[in-house]
Amino acid sequence: QVQLVESGGGSVQAGGSLTLSCAAPEYFDSSYSMGWFRQTPYKAREGVAGIETKGDKTVVRDSVKGRFTISRDDAKKTVHLQMNSLKPEDSGWYYCAADPVLGPYSLVGGLRAPDYWGQGTQVTVSS
């Protein structure tokens, strides 16, 4: 079992920024792709961004392109989501996920649910 732990959520005004972080345990296999998902009261869970091992390939969904950036530090077993120019519709619960098979495109595209999840961190963007 892989326990992922998110942090960095909070409340900001529209136009502000937040950085979400996700920490994986020391034994975590850094060959896994990792990603961020979000769920809002108005939409089903959706993939926001995904990243391949070593950060060689990243994917972000169109609605956040140019505003969100995903990165990872395999030595520290962490993945981050830098969120800029936040909008109220970005509000929701954000979840970190990892999978040994899915690549970042499949993660974001929702081919199937990733194998491992964090507990989530809440983001609230006020107008």
Mean pLDDT of the 110-126 span: 95
- Contact indicator for 59, 105 with CB cutoff of 8 Å: yes
- Residue 86 CB neighbours (<10 A): 22
Q: Which three-class secondary structure state does DSSP give residue 85? A: coil
Q: Does residue 14 contact residue 87 with C-beta atoms inside 8 Å?
A: yes
- Which tens digits make up the pLDDT trace of 63-111? 999 999 999 999 999 999 999 999 999 999 999 999 999 999 999 998 8
pLDDT on residue 112: 92
- From first CA to last CA, the distance across the chain in angstroms is 39
Residue 45 pLDDT exceeds 90: yes
pLDDT band for 54, please (50, 70, 90 cuts): confident
Task: Compute the average pLDDT of residues 4-13.
Answer: 97
pLDDT 10s digits, 14-44: 999 999 999 999 999 999 999 999 998 888 8
Give the pLDDT score at 11. 98
The two structure tokens encoding residue 127: 């107008």
| Identity at 37, one-letter amino acid code | F
